[in-house]
Amino acid sequence: MTGTPSSISIPAELRPADGRFGSGPSKVRPEAVKALEARALDYLGTSHRRTGVRSVVGRLRAAMTELFGLGDGWEVVLGNGGSTGFWDAAAFSMIERRAQHLTFGEFSEKFSAVTAAAPHLDDPAVITAPYGSHPVPELDAGIDTYALTHNETSTGVAMSVAQPQLGASRHGTPPALVMVDATSAAGAMTWDPRDVDCYYFAPQKAFAADGGLFIALCSPAAIERIERIDASGRYKPATLDLAIAARNSRQDQTYNTPALATILLTLETAEWMLDGGGLAWAASRSATSSGAVYDWAADRDFASPFVADEAMRSPVVCTIDFEGVSADDIAAALRANDIVDTEGYRKLGRNQLRIAAFPAIEPSDAEALTACIDYIVERL
């Protein structure tokens, strides 16, 4: 029996309880939305310069410190503009002269384009790897900032942020910094703050909140760099000035008005993760969900994980290639059954689905999704 994708009706008992599998914006837990509703009168619509909102920002900063086990002198810096805005801020406020970028997908390429275009910076060193894999950073005395990506959301490739060969640079005078784009990894993958100086993200991915905010966890060395560049007199637009952002964050504020809902939703997820058992617990949820998807794909003739090297396979974003059946048709059939945002990343141009496995997604739902795809493939 063959049908058009939208005519396939998946039996209710096979469907996941929640059909959101997008890689960002991603599933927001209904419990978090309820918590937001509960604060509809005393938090939403109140001044971000007053105690009500500032105490939520303070709790958010404390929750991040605890969740990531940040040591003395680390600061949680917040501001508007999401991760893309943070790239611009880093070009003005964190990179001294020359960055080394590891590029292996859309997001890491975008950041390298930012520093390449910045007139006050030297041309960056760019180390690239084919999509589906990742490069490794190279120690270079001329580099003051190494730009890594914990999880390349576009290709479903993850890398370790521990790169001991950079130690010589990081402990030099002045020290080089390791900056990690953790937009889709933060809260879903474990890491050790000793390996990193700036771990930044936006909360619409693993933190199951909404976009618009950047959260940058900054080591003492990163703070020192921000302050040194500030003192140097380099021109910085105020909204991209991390010295201003850090000063406001210390007061539990942002430089200009933030999205209050985003902040509360992010806090809800962070506290949910802490209550559940912390970062390792949250990461294990992602590992269970993605493991189910990869195992299933390896087991099917028509599917296979895009990332050949198992060690590079993302535990949070599964890219699955299909053969003999159209991934677009599968995604369309899923969508017709309220299972959404599994479409592949267009620019990769592959016959592929991209399935998020963030902590907020129930592992049982990830498993149910694979059963739904089996059901669809039998009928296409």
Least distance (Å) between residue 275 CB and ligand PLP = 26
- Kindly tell me which residue out of 19, 82, 124, 363 binds ligand PLP, with binding defined by CB under 6 A: 82
Least distance (Å) between residue 47 CB and ligand PLP = 25
Cα of 116 vs its chain's centroid, Å? 23
Residue 239 binding ligand PLP, by CB under 6 A? no
- Kindly tell me which residue out of 92, 107, 200, 345 binds ligand PLP, with binding defined by CB under 6 A: 107
Angle 87-222-125 (CA atoms, 0-180°, nearest 5)?
50
Give, in order, the Cα–Cα distances in Å from 212 to each of 52, 84, 226. 20, 9, 22
Binding mask 196-215 for ligand PLP (x = CB under 6 A): ------x--x-----x----
Kindly indicate which of the ranges 77-85, 94-102, 135-143, 262-270 contains the residues binding ligand PLP, using the contact rule CB under 6 A: 77-85
- Kindly tell me which residue out of 8, 64, 80, 83 binds ligand PLP, with binding defined by CB under 6 A: 83
Least distance (Å) between residue 59 CB and ligand PLP = 22
- Kindly tell me which residue out of 93, 100, 112, 149 binds ligand PLP, with binding defined by CB under 6 A: 149
Smallest CA-to-CA distance from 200 within 234, 246, 248 is with 246
Least distance (Å) between residue 6 CB and ligand PLP = 29
Smallest CA-to-CA distance from 215 within 338, 79, 364, 331 is with 79
CB closer to ligand PLP out of 352 and 370: 352
Binding mask 8-27 for ligand PLP (x = CB under 6 A): ----------------x---
What are φ and ψ of residue 368, in 5° steps?
-60, -35
Smallest CA-to-CA distance from 65 within 78, 52, 47 is with 78
Helices marked H in the chain — which ranges?
A: 30-38, 51-67, 82-93, 106-117, 167-170, 220-231, 242-250, 260-276, 279-299, 327-336, 363-379
Check if the beta carbon of residue 212 is closer than 8 Å to that of residue 202. yes
Kindly indicate which of the ranges 56-64, 95-103, 156-164, 180-188 contains the residues binding ligand PLP, using the contact rule CB under 6 A: 180-188
Q: Which residues bind ligand PLP (CB under 6 A)?
A: 24, 82-84, 107, 149, 153, 181, 183-184, 202, 205, 211
